[in-house]
Amino acid sequence: MAKRVKLLDVAKAAGVSQGTASNAFGKPDLVRPEVRERIFDAARELGYRGPHVMARMLRTGKAGALGVVFPDNLEYAFSDPVAIELLRGIGRECAHHGVNVMIISAENPEQAITAVNNAAVDAFLVHCYSDNNDIIKAIQRRNQPLISIDTDIAGAAGTVVLDDFAAAKNAAQHLLDCGASKFAILSLQATEHDHFGPMSPNRLGAASHRVVRERLAGYHTALEAAGIAASDVVHIECDNQSGHSAKMTTELLADHPEIDGILAMSDVIAIGAIDAARAIGRKMPGDLKVIGFDGIQAGERTDPPLTTMHQDSVEKGRLAAEMALSGEPGKTIMLETSLLLRGSSQESSA
């Protein structure tokens, strides 16, 4: 096996100190252009592959990157509208600080643990993931800041969440005010174990994801205040894909034609519900009212346009990255939502 070329070898070949050679790669503005080029020429001739990331971390204490852990696959991170907005916010703050981003999928736990163990990052942002798993334990063993987003993780250095309870309560109250009386809740996945379709009372009680727990509690609080027990509500667990929620909604309305109010835990789910309801001839908002959650742009283009609880996902990501990079984590930020009133819940007054 060929001997790995070290920075010291490059420095000797270029006739400079190891510190100057290091600056040429890490702080090039500190090295005169002609010296810098001599160092780079020597590196190319020797086949030097650049400074070792972990060695640089040992010297400086910084990797210049944040790790972002998603519970889903990477395709989801780059296709889901809310995930995209969250990454925009993280990227915006990282760019401001000259820091890079590493995205880790937790879909395969063994691969994710390996990625966590090898990640050259200064902190981790964990999105929508429970703390009862080996991936979180691997992150915590790194003894670096862990910022939780839309989830509660014991020992996290900081947390950024929505007031999901209040938002869901307001969503249900809005549909009540619009005249709905027979409700279905189209829920996001309640635990890390795949289950789609009707939710039993045991399944409802086993919800491990904070977002699902808080939104269910908010919906139920508003409905129970109106005399509608949780047991009188149809609960359906959906994959966060419009095609899947459309299928679930078609089955729901066939089995429960009396449903006149749908509370969807995401806009993506709500869009599928609207598509399915229109396909079977349900009139919205006349005999069916639908409200989503997120405020994605696609909700403006449904027929009718989607009423939703809007959240600022870009700001959520930016705040989480800011907390990770500030060196002063340790607080919880709770963001508010706002009602975007459109035609899926109430006739236009225009």
**Same domain, residue pair 191 and 294:** yes
Which residue among 162, 185, 219 closes a domain?
A: 162
Total residues found in the chain within this entry: 350
**Same domain, residue pair 154 and 173:** no
* pLDDT score of 350: 46
**Same domain, residue pair 42 and 75:** no
Nearest to 161 by CA among 169, 152, 172, 150: 150
**Same domain, residue pair 73 and 86:** yes
Domain assignment present for 94: yes
**Same domain, residue pair 202 and 303:** yes
The distance from CA 9 to its chain's CA centroid, rounded to whole angstroms, is 44
**Same domain, residue pair 106 and 220:** no
Domain assignment present for 155: yes
Domain assignment present for 329: no
**Same domain, residue pair 76 and 135:** yes
pTM, rounded to two decimals: 0.83
Instruction: Tally the domains of the chain.
Output: 3
* pLDDT score of 1: 45
Domain hosting 14: range is 7-51
| Backbone angles phi and psi of 212, in degrees to 5 | -65, -45
DSSP 2: P
pLDDT in tens, the chain (350 residues): 457 788 899 999 999 999 998 888 777 788 899 999 999 899 889 988 776 655 555 555 678 899 999 988 899 889 999 999 999 999 999 999 999 999 999 888 889 988 998 888 999 999 987 656 788 988 888 888 999 999 988 889 999 999 999 999 999 999 999 999 999 999 998 887 778 999 988 888 888 889 999 999 999 999 999 999 999 999 999 999 999 999 999 999 999 999 999 999 999 999 999 999 999 999 999 999 999 999 999 999 999 999 999 999 999 999 999 999 987 767 899 999 999 999 999 876 54
Contact 175, 113 (CB under 8 A): no
Domain assignment present for 348: no
Which residue among 162, 182, 202 closes a domain?
A: 162
* Ramachandran sector of residue 89 (left: φ over 0; alpha: ψ -120 to 50; beta: rest): alpha
Domain assignment present for 13: yes
Domain assignment present for 266: yes
**Same domain, residue pair 24 and 146:** no
Beta strand spans in the chain (E):
65-70, 100-105, 123-127, 146-149, 158-162, 183-187, 197-198, 234-237, 261-264, 289-294, 307-310, 332-335, 338-340
Domain assignment present for 319: no
